[in-house]
A = this chain, B = another copy of it.
Amino acid sequence: MNHRDRIRLLINRHARLDAALMRSAQLNAVQVVALEYLANANRFSRSPSHVADYLGTTRGTMSQTLKSLEAKGLVSEERLADDRRSIRYRLTEAGRAALRAANADRCADTGMNDADQAMLERLLARSLADRVARTGTKMFGICRECRHHELRQNGQRYCHLLNVVLAEEEAEQLCHEQVPA
């Protein structure tokens, strides 16, 4: 057992215990993480394929999960005009409420001070970035920290990959095309 193995074990147990805390809610772990992703992803990154990539599963599996969330009224699907094959999911108000409830269930305070939490977040993000680089998956980081993101002098934000002007709040959202700067 080296550091790497123990870290993996800790991460897996953490995730399991976290999933157990959601037993009270009407949702399971994958459903909550999918909801959380959709709540934070930008308008270019909310298709079944994107959620599947984010969680390392398949389109088929995620399609089922999203359909079950839709049946519960927590997300709604929206067909795109420019590509009629694609779907863009969006949280309903009930979905946002369910997400808030699920997060509230999972105990608020960690007992760790802010500096340690920031350090833990930073190290986890680094570890995840390493894995992403090794396995050729995508990072799904926030738009603002992307290579293609430009904050112009007039305060406008622009994506050089998709060639679109971005709304201010989109700078903090997750993007499937994100490449760390």
Contact = CB atoms under 8 A, between A and B. Distances in A.
Interface string A88-116: 00000000000000010011101110101
A15 B17 contact: no
A7 B137 contact: no
6 contacts: A7-B117, A10-B121, A12-B18, A17-B55, A116-B126, A123-B123
Interface of A: 1, 3-21, 29-30, 33, 36, 40, 54-57, 103, 106-108, 110-112, 114, 116-121, 123-128, 130-131, 133-135, 137
A124 B18 contact: no
A16 B5 CA distance: 16
Count of chain copies:
2
Contacts of A12: 15, 18, 29, 33
A11 B131 contact: no
A120 B7 contact: yes
A123 B13 CA distance: 14
A131 B120 CA distance: 15
A14 B17 contact: no
B118 A3 contact: yes
A120 B124 contact: yes
A4 B21 CA distance: 15
Given A3-B117, A9-B33, A128 B14 contact: yes
Nearest to A103: B5
A123 B119 contact: yes
Nearest to A130: B111
Contacts of A17: 55-56, 128, 131, 135, 137
